[in-house]
Amino acid sequence: MKYYIIVGEASGDLHASHLMSELLKADSSAEFRFFGGDKMEEVGGTLVQHYRDLAFMGFIPVLLNLHTIFANLKFCKQDILDWNPDVVILVDYPGFNLKIAKFIKENSSIPVFYYISPKIWAWKEYRIKNIKRDVDQLFSILPFEVDFYKKHSYPIHYVGNPTVDEIHDFKKDYKESFIDFTVRLNLSSSPIICVLSGSRKQEIKDNLPQMLQAASLYSNYQIVVAGAPGIEREYYNQFISGYDVHLVFGETYPILAHSHTALVTSGTATLETALFEVPQVVCYSTPIPKVIAFLRKRILKVKYISLVNLIVDRLIIQELVADTMNAKCLNAELKKLMTDEHYRSQMIDDYRQMERILGEPGAPLHAANQMINILAK
């Protein structure tokens, strides 16, 4: 069968690559064409457009790149029709993907599957109408989404969480000691503060400076910034200049495996950090923070922004967002993480509860098998 897959960021590229691998195991004749990234390309198929050319975030960057965004949409729509796949698989990235779903539904009989549901439970709940109209099958990776969609009379498939699989597989094979790790990357022997400042340039610009200011107060620790795929080293240099910082690409999991504490911009990275049992604080700075804080209370439909807290439905990790993402709050929380052993151990215990809720590994396998079974009917 022919599978057309669309992702818009690094985490989607990772999750889609594992889904593709499982589809290949179950369907030896599988052909892939995709908007994606390097990891998907490693599996095989035709990379039509790299996600780094799609990932515009924030009002101004989107406004400045409207021509590019519309050109990508137009090209993607026609490319799908020309290739005529057996299925289109959308991965997160709702601003782009829901437009594609609408077009495909109106202009073809190609089934549309959605792997990793748009987070409409957080805001833009009205998009449920679009999903019910344009998406044939939805495959969820977050257990609480089942009840949300059930409320809207839209059945979905919970397949498990692919991040559980990815970290389980990594831990199974990774045997490098802390000493060997630091020698290999030319790091010092000091404990590591890991900084995960986002996968998009706007996130990095908004968050990395304050993260580094707070982390640099701990001179007995070394700061390791995990560089995001698709972001150039030169972009980071403007923010890390003047700090004693190690910028490392392609080693996020090894860094987390050996980290003492982490500063993390919200997203999949908070879940990854929790599954490595690294105490963390969520940092999400925004322009006009007081306005964003005001809007957040009135627009967001959920109590939390981090996946960790959402999964267990209570506050496990502190979320410093908009007006609370400031030097005073960040320094106070980081000090607690660095020095309060009871606080750290309680957070790790809570992480283990979260992992039990997520369930066993097997998400890409379950999703691939269900997709193939549905298509075969």
Span 312-367, pLDDT tens digits = 999 999 999 867 889 899 999 999 999 999 999 999 999 999 999 999 999 999 99
- 209 and 346 housed in the same domain: yes
- 280 and 327 housed in the same domain: yes
- 55 and 128 housed in the same domain: yes
Which tokens sit at 193? 């503060």
- 143 and 221 housed in the same domain: no
The yes-or-no verdict on residue 59 having pLDDT over 50 is no
The yes-or-no verdict on residue 67 having pLDDT over 70 is no
- Higher-confidence residue: 117 or 104? 104
CATH of the domain at 343: 3.40.50.2000
The yes-or-no verdict on residue 302 having pLDDT over 70 is no
Which tokens sit at 298? 């009135």
Binning pLDDT at 50, 70 and 90, where does residue 199 land?
confident
- 66 and 82 housed in the same domain: yes
The yes-or-no verdict on residue 295 having pLDDT over 60 is no
* Number of domains composing the chain: 2
The yes-or-no verdict on residue 255 having pLDDT over 60 is yes
Binning pLDDT at 50, 70 and 90, where does residue 146 land?
very high
- 285 and 323 housed in the same domain: yes
Lowest mean pLDDT among 8-17, 155-164, 283-292: 283-292
Measured distance CA(304)–CA(322) in Å, rounded:
13
- 104 and 208 housed in the same domain: no
- 240 and 194 housed in the same domain: yes
Nearest-5° angle of CA 294, CA 295, CA 301? 115
Binning pLDDT at 50, 70 and 90, where does residue 293 land?
very low
- Higher-confidence residue: 70 or 205? 205
Q: Domain containing 247: what range?
A: 167-358
Q: What is the spatial order of strands in the sheet that 2-6 belongs to?
A: 46-50, 31-36, 2-6, 87-91, 112-115, 137-140, 157-158
Q: How many residues belong to the chain?
A: 377
Mean pLDDT of 231-254: 96
| pLDDT score of 358 | 96
Nearest CA to 308 among 334, 340, 273, 333? 273
> Tens digits of per-residue pLDDT, 25-53?
999 999 999 999 999 999 999 999 998 77
Measured distance CA(130)–CA(186) in Å, rounded:
50
The yes-or-no verdict on residue 292 having pLDDT over 50 is no
Calculate what percentage of the chain has a pLDDT beyond 70.
92
- 194 and 295 housed in the same domain: yes
Which tokens sit at 260? 């003492």
Nearest CA to 217 among 334, 79, 99? 334
| pLDDT score of 331 | 94
| pLDDT score of 300 | 55
- 132 and 277 housed in the same domain: no
Mean pLDDT of 112-119: 92
- 288 and 143 housed in the same domain: no
- 78 and 146 housed in the same domain: yes
Mean pLDDT of 227-239: 93
Binning pLDDT at 50, 70 and 90, where does residue 294 land?
very low
Measured distance CA(368)–CA(169) in Å, rounded:
18
